[in-house]
């Protein structure tokens, strides 16, 4: 029968499923604010081509979010890598990837745990100005891109005793 009119003809029905999870999720680069990922296409591609991928990012404590479209929701099936940026330094993240076809989003890959790098703070132009016998002023410049919440100053006196100041 004709699939549309009911008249006798040979008819082929094609079943299309969402894709299986991408494989071989690999971290390619880690900085203090970004993680690079690559992966292989799903082992089971169905009969519909991959139209994109979604990277799911969550904190180890369970808070989850999908990457914004301009960062991770890739729109071409042959693109199998991304750079997730705007992350916090020295934080553990869980990452997983899902493939998309015309039916929808497939299952996510197993999660991998990645920790972003620690911030490096370099102090330059350190200046010490004596204000009085008991008071001094310290000033410096830093190259840190993160908001610095505090510095600790370790003060040594002539008797080699020390105090911490914050």
- The 10s digit of each residue's pLDDT in 53-63 is 888 888 887 66
Average pLDDT over residues 58-78: 58
Non-local CB neighbours of 81 within 8 Å, separated by 6+ positions: 28, 36, 37, 38, 39
Rounded to the nearest integer, the mean pLDDT of the chain is: 76
pLDDT the model gives residue 149? 61
Which has the higher per-residue pLDDT, 54 or 134? 54
For residue 62, the SS3 value is coil
In the chain, what is the straight-line distance between the N-terminal and C-terminal CA atoms, in Å? 84
Task: Tell me how far apart the alpha carbons of residues 111 and 119 are, in angstroms, rounded to a whole number.
Answer: 25
Q: In b/e form, how buried is each residue of 121-137, taking b as 16+ CB within 10 angstroms?
A: eeeeeeeeeeeeeeeee
Report the CATH superfamily, name and number, of domain 23-115: Immunoglobulins (2.60.40.10)
Task: Tell me how far apart the alpha carbons of residues 130 and 11 are, in angstroms, rounded to a whole number.
Answer: 93
- Categorize the per-residue pLDDT at 73 as very low, low, confident or very high, splitting at 50, 70 and 90: very low
1: pLDDT strictly greater than 50: no
| Nearest residue to 52 (alpha-carbon basis) of 29, 32, 75 | 75
| Nearest residue to 89 (alpha-carbon basis) of 34, 36, 146, 32 | 32
Domain ranges of the chain: 23-115, 123-165
Supply the pTM of this predicted model.
0.62
pLDDT the model gives residue 64? 63
């Amino acid at each position: 029968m004709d699939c549309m009119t009911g008249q006798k003809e040979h008819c082929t029905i094609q079943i299309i499923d969402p894709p299986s999870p991408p494989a071989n999720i690999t971290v390619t680069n880690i900085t203090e604010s970004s993680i690079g990922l690559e992966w292989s296409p799903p082992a089971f591609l169905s009969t519909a081509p991959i139209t994109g991928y979604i990277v799911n990012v969550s904190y180890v404590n369970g808070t989850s979010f999908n990457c914004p479209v301009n960062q991770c929701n890739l729109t071409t099936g042959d693109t199998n890598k991304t750079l997730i940026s705007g992350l916090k330094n020295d934080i553990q993240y869980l990452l997983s990837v899902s493939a998309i076809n015309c039916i929808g989003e497939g299952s996510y890959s197993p999660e991998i745990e990645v920790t972003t790098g620690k911030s490096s703070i370099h102090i330059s132009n350190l200046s010490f100005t004596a204000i009085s016998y008991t008071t001094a002023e310290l000033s410096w410049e830093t190259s840190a891109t993160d908001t610095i919440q505090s510095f600790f100053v370790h003060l040594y006196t002539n008797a080699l005793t020390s105090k911490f100041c914050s």
